[in-house]
A and B are shown apart, each in its own frame.
Chain A
Amino acid sequence: MTGEVTKTLPLEDLHQAAGAKFGAFAGWSMPLTYPAGVMKEHQHTREHVGLFDISHMKLFVVSGSGAAALLNRACPIDAEALEVSQSKLTFFLNDKAGILDDLIVTRLGAKRFMVVANAGNAVADEAHLKALARDFDARVEPLDRVFLAIQGPEAEAVLAKAGVDGSSLTFMHGFEPRPNWFMSRSGYTGEDGFEIGLPEADARALLAQLLGDERVLWIGLAARDSLRLEAGLCLHGNDISPDTDPASGALMWAVPKEIRASGTFIGAGALRAIVEKGAAQKRVGLKPEGRQPVRGGAALFDADGNPAGAVTSGGFGPSAGHPVAMGYVSTPLAKAGAKLFADVRGTRVPVEVSALPFTPHRYRKG
């Protein structure tokens, strides 16, 4: 992000008033922690409701008679097969099947889709999608919205009290409950919860209600990271990137079977070749022994000291009660229980390949 101006959130005044500490992330000045601190913020989200300002992420409406065809070209997805209100995790791939970004696509109507993109990739995503759209009868419209995540076991209840009914949604479904609102039952914590994109004035009115509810606490990026890591969810740029693909990323569950075989998305040929040959490395969960966190970038070795891969994300899991990490290991070692070592400042820390997630998902699947 060198040379770029750091963008500020539309609701920055509210975060300042809440006592947030800010830091740079993906070109944005973001709340990292609030006075409660990362531990309490993390646990509060798992026990009650965490409120996250994720307005750094970008919403796009893709519409037109060719909208589904455009998405089928851009992503390994069958957009036509999505039911109205159904959401799906998917990707933009390059022609080597490298992951340019991970996205959530929701069908809003017969010819309208919502695409939610990561902050750090939003500008490139928009250019990519608009360039592809020239070959289709489709429009790509970036939206100017405040985007909030309301996550945790009491999310539905606090929203209901604030006059927003999300009870009809199940996990990975979304709709437009009011003009210029988009609301989905989804998130990045492993908990039940919602993400709502809405105009700033509406957001301020909703927040006035939510913040008056003692079950609701602002949560910063630090706890957002520990929550998603425990939930085994990928951070683009760390755990997936243009240098990794859905097969090595253990994300083929997001690619429908028939699309794997016959899809014409960008990167289809490369992805088929990788799957056929077998990915050389796989993304896995890693549980360090003891209390010492193992961070992204740490090299991994097998029992004989041979290079075995690398950690891509790591930290401490406040709910798990132990350090948690994710990384890539050579495929023969990618099975739960495999014993490896991570190099941490010259010390060999034993780590075990572990099933993901570290903390069970508690999605409302209906």
Chain B
Amino acid sequence: MAKTYFTEDHEWLSVDGNVATVGITDYAQEQLGDLVFVDLPEVGRKLAKGDTAVVVESVKAASDVYAPLDGEITEVNGALSGDPALVNSAATTDGWLWKMKLADEGQLAGLLDEAGYKAHIG
């Protein structure tokens, strides 16, 4: 059963075993506005917590999405190449960005739960 975590940088992680699916929150997509391009990383890339994993581009600006934890990218959401607006219309479902194998599941303890995230965005 997957469990969902959040970061203060407005990402969500759905963790199943040691694999996390990562996306941005609905709050984040609303702040960014209409997305026109998602610069996806290569599968196999190793990420350290805080690395820029993905760049999402709105009409007006480019924004970094950071790796919430250490790990290795196992899959990216190829559907976003043709339809980046999926991140706007379905941020927490079909608009996921990448999947990663976690290097240290213990790092999950440092993330927010849904109540914590809701308190964070006020």
Contact = CB atoms under 8 A, between A and B. Distances in A.
Contacts of A318: 59
Interface in A1-50: 33, 37-39, 42
Contact of B33 (A38, A291, A345): A38
Contacts of B55: 345
Contacts of B57: 292-293, 316
A42 B60 CA distance: 12
Interface string B49-62: 00000010111111
Contact of B60 (A222, A291, A323, A345): A222
Contacts of A291: 36-37, 81, 84
Nearest to B85: A39
Contacts of B62: 293, 295
Contacts of A323: 36-37
B33 A33 contact: yes
Contacts of B113: none
A293 B37 contact: yes
B34 interface: yes
Contact of A38 (B37, B58, B81): B58
B39 interface: yes
Interface in B4-45: 33-34, 36-37, 39
A350 to B, nearest CB: 15
A39 to B, nearest CB: 4
B33 A222 contact: yes
A42 B33 CA distance: 13
Interface in A138-179: none
Contacts of A37: 33-34
Interface in A310-343: 315-316, 318, 323
Q: Chain A interface: which size bin?
A: 10 to 19
What's the dominant secondary structure at chain A's contact region? mixed
Contacts of A293: 36-37, 57, 62
Contact of A292 (B34, B39, B59): B39
A39 B58 CA distance: 10
A226 B57 CA distance: 14
A53 interface: no
A225 interface: yes
B45 to A, nearest CB: 14
B59 A226 contact: yes
A38 B34 contact: yes
B39 A38 contact: no
A224 B57 CA distance: 18
Interface string A209-249: 00000000000001101100000000000000000000000
B27 to A, nearest CB: 13
B57 to A, nearest CB: 5
Given A33-B33, A222-B33, A39 B59 contact: yes
B81 to A, nearest CB: 8
A316 B33 contact: no
A254 to B, nearest CB: 27
Contact of B34 (A39, A225, A295): A39
B59 A316 contact: yes
Nearest to B88: A37
A33 B58 CA distance: 12
A315 B60 contact: yes
A129 B57 CA distance: 41
Of B33, B55, B62, chain A has the most CB atoms within 10 Å of the CB of: B33
B90 to A, nearest CB: 15
B116 to A, nearest CB: 25
Contacts of A226: 59-60
Contacts of A295: 61-62
Interface string A277-298: 0000000000000011101000
A291 B37 CA distance: 6
Nearest to A35: B30
A268 B37 CA distance: 44
Given A33-B33, A323-B37, A345-B39, 4 more contacts: A225-B60, A291-B37, A291-B81, A323-B36
12 contacts: A38-B58, A38-B60, A39-B59, A223-B59, A226-B59, A291-B36, A291-B81, A291-B84, A293-B36, A293-B37, A315-B59, A316-B58
List the 6 shortest-distance A-B pairs measured between CB atoms, nearest first. Answer: A316-B36, A39-B34, A38-B59, A316-B59, A222-B60, A291-B37
Interface of B: 33-34, 36-37, 39, 55, 57-62, 81, 84
